Amino acid sequence: LAKTTQPISMDSYEGQEVNITCSHNNIATNDYITWYQQFPSQGPRFIIQGYKTKVTNEVASLFIPADRKSSTLSLPRVSLSDTAVYYCLVGSESSASKIIFGSGTRLSIRP
């Protein structure tokens, strides 16, 4: 089973860039790295996914070093509405049932 480790919580302020790092030392060759965001009383929702190097979309960037044993989710210029729990997952369609969400990182944004 692909296991991930990420900080339990982080605090930041509006307008700052927030970087959340996830460790996944036993990532498999076919595994993708995926991040989800969860607001209170809602199900998680997909943010971004990558396999290697850097991926950027309208919400975030994902940085993955060459060894793929870690990844960093970068949220530019956060706002209060970015306060949520962020989950890092590794896995693939072929191992769909083995994807573990873990406890996530609780991000709190202050004014």
Answer positive or negative: Cα dihedral of 90, 84, 37, 44: positive
Burial class (CB in 10 A: 0-12, 13-18, 19+), 55: middle
Binding segment for another protein among 10-18, 20-28, 36-44, 75-83 (CB under 8 A)? 36-44
Q: Which is nearer to another protein, 21 or 92 (CB)?
A: 92
Binding segment for another protein among 17-25, 67-75, 76-84, 92-100 (CB under 8 A)? 92-100
Among 22, 60, 91, 109, binds another protein (CB under 8 A): 91
Q: What is the per-residue DSSP string for 59-95?
A: S-EEEE-TT-SEEEEEESS--GGG-EEEEEEEE-GGG
> Please, what is the minimum distance in Å from the beta carbon of residue 23 to another protein?
16
Give me the residues that bind another protein (CB under 8 A), please.
32, 34, 36, 41-46, 49, 85, 87, 91-93, 96-104
